[in-house]
């Protein structure tokens, strides 16, 4: 039998209300900077990068629902919002299809959503670091830390160099010491874009994963609240992104979480506008 383990997500409802930092701090232990026992940091990197490559290939066989909410906040007031919910499914030939199921008219005024924002939301916030990509990054072991019931190795990572028109992740990752997969990510996508006529800034975010299918850790929740310092103004931005309804292509197996079938509309419908 698979040993299903997960980070406790009881604080997520609190996170959405803006009390994220207090709740999240209570869920993790202090950072222990001691070197790992019985394995080197280099071996850990090699093991998790290989497992991440395996996971990246497996995730391509899964459909899912992704809900996106981006808000600008002025004090305690949400003064602009973008929402979209879309399903990623497969046609009969196995080709992925993206279908938008909920997209109210956006009310953002102080910022706009760009192609880089959409690309980050779909491809970089659910960050994966495979053996094909580790040579692009400086990866520094910083210690070990308890994340709920998980014991994790912690690494800081940053791109070795920024190639033109390429996007990267810079921040911290937590790697489970049992499955050697990334279970939590904190940081931001880089570079920030500050051209003469083009200014596109990106918030720091946290992404959590859960062991959905008893084998791989899938991204399930991303939260960001950060102040973006544009030349003409500061803007507080909040992002909440959920990934649900994971289903493997061609499989009739039901995937459940906390006793509920993932994908059942009674259990996980899209967020409604405020």
- Considering the chain, what percentage of its residues have pLDDT values greater than 90? 74
pLDDT-based confidence at residue 125 (cuts at 50, 70, 90): very high
pLDDT-based confidence at residue 41 (cuts at 50, 70, 90): very high
Q: How confident is the model at residue 3, as a pLDDT?
A: 41
Cα separation of 207 and 184, whole Å? 6
Q: How confident is the model at residue 25, as a pLDDT?
A: 38
pLDDT-based confidence at residue 198 (cuts at 50, 70, 90): confident
- Considering the chain, what is the average pLDDT of its residues? 86
Residue 145's H or E segment, with its range, is: strand 137-147
Which residue has better confidence, 105 or 164? 105
Query: Considering the entire predicted model, what is its pTM?
Result: 0.83
Q: What share of the chain is helix, strand, coil (3-state, %, to 5)?
A: 15, 45, 40
With 80 as the cut, is the pLDDT of residue 6 above it?
no
Least confident among 51-60, 149-158, 207-216, 247-256? 247-256
Q: What are 131-140's pLDDT values in tens digits?
A: 999 999 999 9
Cα separation of 47 and 183, whole Å? 14
Q: How confident is the model at residue 180, as a pLDDT?
A: 97
How is the chain split into domains, by residue range? 12-261
Q: How confident is the model at residue 60, as a pLDDT?
A: 93
- Quote the distance between the C-alpha of residue 13 and its chain's center: 16
Residues 255-271, mean pLDDT to the nearest whole number:
49
Judge contact between 116 and 200, C-beta under 8 A: yes
Q: How confident is the model at residue 250, as a pLDDT?
A: 76
With 90 as the cut, is the pLDDT of residue 28 above it?
no
Per-residue DSSP letter, 255: P
Burial class (CB in 10 A: 0-12, 13-18, 19+), 249: middle
With 60 as the cut, is the pLDDT of residue 260 above it?
no
Cα separation of 156 and 141, whole Å? 7
- Quote the distance between the C-alpha of residue 165 and its chain's center: 22
Q: How confident is the model at residue 135, as a pLDDT?
A: 96
């Amino acid at each position: 039998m698979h040993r299903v383990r997960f980070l406790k997500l009881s604080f997520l409802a609190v996170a959405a209300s803006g009390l994220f930092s207090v709740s999240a701090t209570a869920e993790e232990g202090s950072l222990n900077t001691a070197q790992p026992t019985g394995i080197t940091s280099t071996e850990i990197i090699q093991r998790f990068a290989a497992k991440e490559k395996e996971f990246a290939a497996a995730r391509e066989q899964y459909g899912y629902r992704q809900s996106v909410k981006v808000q600008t906040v002025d004090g305690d007031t949400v003064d602009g919002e973008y929402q979209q919910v879309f399903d990623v499914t497969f046609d009969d030939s196995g080709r992925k299809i993206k279908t938008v199921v909920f997209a109210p008219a956006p009310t953002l005024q102080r910022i706009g959503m760009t192609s880089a924002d959409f690309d980050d939301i779909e491809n970089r916030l659910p960050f994966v670091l495979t053996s094909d990509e580790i040579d692009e990054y400086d990866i520094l072991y910083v210690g070990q830390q308890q994340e709920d019931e998980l014991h994790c190795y912690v690494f800081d990572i940053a791109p070795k160099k920024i190639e033109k028109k390429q996007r990267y992740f810079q921040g911290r990752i937590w790697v489970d010491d049992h499955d050697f997969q990334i279970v939590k990510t904190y940081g931001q996508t880089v570079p920030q874009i500050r051209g003469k006529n083009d200014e596109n800034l990106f918030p720091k975010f946290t992404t959590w994963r859960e062991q959905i299918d008893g084998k791989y850790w899938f991204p399930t929740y991303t939260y960001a609240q950060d102040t973006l310092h544009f030349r003409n103004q500061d803007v507080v931005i909040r992002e909440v992104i959920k990934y649900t309804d994971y289903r493997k292509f061609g499989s009739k197996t039901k995937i459940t979480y906390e006793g509920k079938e993932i994908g059942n509309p009674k259990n996980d419908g899209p967020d409604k506008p405020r």
